[in-house]
Amino acid sequence: MNPVDVIQGIEPIILAMPHTGIFVPENVHSSLNETGHLLADTDWHVDRLYEGLLPGASIIRANFHRYVIDANRAPSGVSLYPGENTTSLCPTTDFTGASIYHEEHQPDDAEIECRRLTFHAPYHAALQAEIERVHAKHGVAVLYDCHSIRSQISFLFDGKLPDLNIGTYGGKSCANEIEQAAIEVCNHAAGFTSVLNGRFKGGWTTRHYGQPSTGIHAIQMELAQSTYMEETAPWKYRDDKAKLIRPHLKLILEAIHDEALKLTLTSERN
């Protein structure tokens, strides 16, 4: 199993999908308990949801499940949200705080390092290489990190999550023009709620790669799964819902793309 799929595009936009994969190696699967076997915290159908919305965009997609190792966590294991409930580099609980492993089968340091080298490192090597290729071609690269999560998880946040959650690490991971382009579309998305840098401010991918001063920008979109699917097993994709949110996602990507082209022109003039 290749840990990552890469589709090289012709545009300055890269769609990253770190949590859509469902592959779990047998040795990990046998260590997981019934809760872990549900794979409930998958970013279900995100690849399908974004399919065709921005032709020519590059796509980097992890094929392994986040319970194996989380491609959107720092390889050092440092928490993204100190003091708040969250999951780790190699999660031992699901999003509700329930254990996903049989007792005494949680991964030790050696196992975590093995998984990092086997899955996490190849994913980020591919992502880094594509960012460098796109940046060399256009003078700018915009990484759009695609995510989704159940709309109500009391362990992680109070109440119901807004539908569209933009994360730019407090404006540090991308140019203001890119952030504002996404916000503008979200603000006019009739029937949908949105927030900028709310509960989800951008994961390690956004924070690590977003270096706007170098022409590399990163923005995360965390979608409430209620906008396009059933939020309980078997996690069914809902075409009737998806057809309402997809046009707004398309507009967001197109708006970001337009700003990227402007930044490309600026880069060329400089």
**pLDDT tens per residue across span 211-254:** 999 999 999 999 999 999 999 999 999 999 999 999 999 999 99
pLDDT level of residue 270 (50, 70, 90 thresholds): low
> Which residues are paired to 101 by β-bridges?
32
Cis ω on the peptide bond leading into residue 212 (within 30° of 0)? no
For the chain, give the mean pLDDT. 95
- Please give the model's pTM, rounded to 2 decimal places: 0.95
- % the chain with pLDDT above 90: 91
CATH superfamily of the 4-269 domain: Zn-dependent exopeptidases (3.40.630.40)
Dump the DSSP string for 125-194: HHHHHHHHHHHHHHS-EEEEEEEEE-S--TTTSSSPPPSEEEE-TTTTSS-HHHHHHHHHHHHT-TT--E
> Which residues are paired to 13 by β-bridges?
142
pLDDT of residue 264: 79
For 62, which DSSP code?
Answer: E
pLDDT of residue 221: 98
Using DSSP, state whether 228 is helix, strand or coil. coil
